[in-house]
Amino acid sequence: MKRTALLTAALMLASSVAFAGTKTYQATGPVLEVKDNMIVIQKGKEKWEIAKDKDTKVTGDLKVGSKATVQYTMKAATIDAKADKKK
């Protein structure tokens, strides 16, 4: 009985992770710029400009020079599919 319950719980957890939705990524580094609609952080040798809006949750004192970790997702804004040309 315990084995069945554990197996059921494991399957439910695995299926919830598989269908959880959009994958979340993170970038951490010093803040180079902050505006109402974006933040720029230095990640390694690259500058990352990440959009933000009124719904973005910010904790702590976000300002230039502080270190920040940004959680983000990748979402398509538009998709333009075209048919293959015939040979």
- Give strand pairing partners of 24: 73
Confidence of residue 22 (pLDDT cuts 50, 70, 90): confident
pLDDT at 16: 46
Residue 4 phi/psi, 5-degree rounding, is -65, -45
HSE, side-chain direction, 13 A CA sphere, residue 17: 6
What confidence tier does 28 reach under pLDDT thresholds 50, 70, 90? very high
pLDDT-wise least confident of 5-9, 19-23, 45-49, 82-86: 5-9
Greater model confidence, 14 or 46: 46
pTM above 0.85, yes or no: no
Question: Where along the chain do its domains lie?
Answer: 23-75
